[in-house]
Amino acid sequence: MEENQSWDEFLVPYQQAVEELKIKLKGIRKQFRKENLHTPIEFVTGRVKPVDSILAKAELRNIPLKHLETDMQDIAGLRIMCQFVEDIHEVVRLLRNRNDIKIIEERDYITNKKESGYRSYHVVFEYPVQVIEGEKIILAEVQIRTLSMNFWATIEHSLNYKYNGEFPEDIKLRLKRAAEAVFQLDEEMSQIREEIQEAQHMFSYSKRSSTEETENKKQP
């Protein structure tokens, strides 16, 4: 943040980036649905970090205000919710293939969950925003998670405020257990989906074979 620059002026490019990226990501979802394909993106949300949160994090991480643009990665933040864990990896693949962003860091908290039990996939990237002065490159972060992971994370985040980040040990343990239950639910739903797809494939194959056999019998 430059000296004598107002917060409103400083945050404009981040607000623009969030709105543009939301439209682009929702556009991907629309394309999948238009092709009658399963979309890995269930819905997208985005926000610009409030000023008080920026100041609190800057103080916690010892980030000078003049280094916010380079040292704080999540002033512009997006969240992509998916139905299944495998959808998360598909979204990451889609992001890697885009030409309008440059990924600079990936953090896989699904394979390597946090101590709290938190699971999500974070991608930090550079994104070009067109402003009056020309092109401005900003940092943005997208968190990709399943609906159930998001439910857990939202509740845990809310409780964190009530306990000022210091959970009693029994609450920590119960939250971890809840996180594991959430992940087991995701895995179970993925298995159910896979079994249904396999059954549909077998039914389709059986129906096609039966039709071909009937047609062959009709031929002289």
Q: What residues are annotated to the active site? A: 141
Which residue is associated with the tokens 């929702």? Answer: 26
162 is written with which tokens?
A: 């009530």
For residue 126, give the 3-state DSSP assignment: strand
CA distances from 204 to 38, 146, 188, 197, 207 (A): 18, 30, 24, 10, 5
For residue 217, give the 3-state DSSP assignment: helix
CA distances from 16 to 165, 179, 180 (A): 32, 34, 37
